[in-house]
Amino acid sequence: FRKSDLLPLVTTVALGKREAFAAWRTEALLSAVVVTSLLGLTGLIGWFLIVDIRRRTLIENQLRGAQQQLILSNRQLELLAMKDALTGLANRRCFDQTLAKEARRAQREGTTLVLLMIDIDYFKRFNDTFGHVAGDVCLRAVGEILEDSVKRPSDLVARYGGEEMGIIMPNTDGQGATVVAQLIIDRLERKNIRHNSSPFGRVSVSIGIIAAAGSQLDSLVGFIQGADRALYNAKALGRNQFAVGTL
């Protein structure tokens, strides 16, 4: 304001609201633009982070699923590698590994291990008479009878080679093994699989049995040979029976 020197007046001059707040509005608008831009940028960064996290999570889940599938596939391959393709019994590889493992257990725990070696009587004649397809059916049928004749999960029935099969029975004595052997012979008789080229007129088996304490299992070769000798004795005695061998 200013007082007039000539007149008794006081002149007052002031800015209007628009002019007074113009600078503030400009600054406020600029601040709002900056804040909005920062919020938008922060939101955009957050969105990218969320998308990246989801993508990583998806990839990790896919990798985890692939890893689990690989583990499952490997286990299935291991099982297949231990199975005989024709009979579904354990194969020779599984037989050898299990026999070695159970021999170590018997030595460690002081228990007895039993091995039964089973051979189908006159099997070559059976193949020559009925053909190899029928021979395969016969092998599977005998394998099923062997598996049905042992009840414990620890017992292993395996195809040893050709028409020869083996049963590993941990913590069993010779008497228990003879019960199983006779059960196999009786069940095959009841099954009555026709075999015209056999003197019995049906499929039969010869069985060699060997039982040994853990302290006698230093040589698995000798253990198997003992079962084989018993098997040969059963054949020499007329087949369709079992014989018990010694080390």
| DSSP notation for 20-59 | HTHHHHHHHHHHHHHHHHHHHHHHHHHHHHHHHHHHHHHH
Average pLDDT over residues 48-68: 85
Q: Which of 181, 182, 185, 169 is nearest to 121 (CA)?
A: 185
The radius of gyration of the chain from alpha carbons, rounded to an integer in Å, stands at 44
Domain boundaries, the chain: 1-81, 92-244
The chain-wide mean pLDDT, for the chain, equals 89
Least confident stretch, 48-52, 154-158, 160-164, 232-236: 48-52
CA 210/CA 229 separation, integer angstroms = 9
Is 60 exceeded by the pLDDT of residue 10?
Answer: no
What letter does residue 79 receive in the DSSP assignment?
Answer: H
Is residue 244 pLDDT above 70, yes or no? yes
User: Residue type at 124?
Assistant: K
- Provide the CATH number for the domain formed by 92-244 in this structure: 3.30.70.270
State the pTM of this model.
0.71
Task: Give me the catalytic one of 27, 109, 163, 164.
Answer: 163
CA distances from 75 to 6, 92, 129, 155 (A): 113, 18, 40, 21
What are the φ and ψ backbone dihedral angles of 41, each rounded to 5 degrees? -65, -45
- Where does the pLDDT of residue 24 fall: very low under 50, low under 70, confident under 90, or very high at 90 and above? low
Is the pLDDT at 190 greater than 90? The verdict is yes
- Count of CB atoms situated within 10 Å of the CB of 181: 25
Q: What is the per-residue pLDDT across 130-147, written as a single tens digit (0 to 9) for each?
A: 999 999 999 999 999 999
Give me the percent of the chain exceeding a pLDDT of 70.
Answer: 87
Could you tell me the two tokens for 184? 């196999």
The pLDDT of residue 7 = 60
| Highest mean pLDDT: which range of 2-6, 12-16, 190-194 | 190-194
How many C-beta neighbours within 10 Å does residue 62 have?
10
Largest pairwise CA distance in the chain:
157
Residue with tokens 């039964």: 116
Residue 72 has pLDDT above 60, yes or no: yes
Q: How confident is the model at residue 61 (pLDDT cuts 50, 70, 90)?
A: confident
Q: How confident is the model at residue 180 (pLDDT cuts 50, 70, 90)?
A: very high
For residue 60, give the amino acid letter.
Answer: E
pLDDT attached to residue 40: 84
Q: Is 102 a catalytic residue?
A: no
Residue 69 CB coordination number (10 Å): 10
Asked whether residue 14 carries a pLDDT value surpassing 60, the answer given is no
- Give the position of tokens 């004649």: 125
**Region 90-100 average pLDDT:** 96
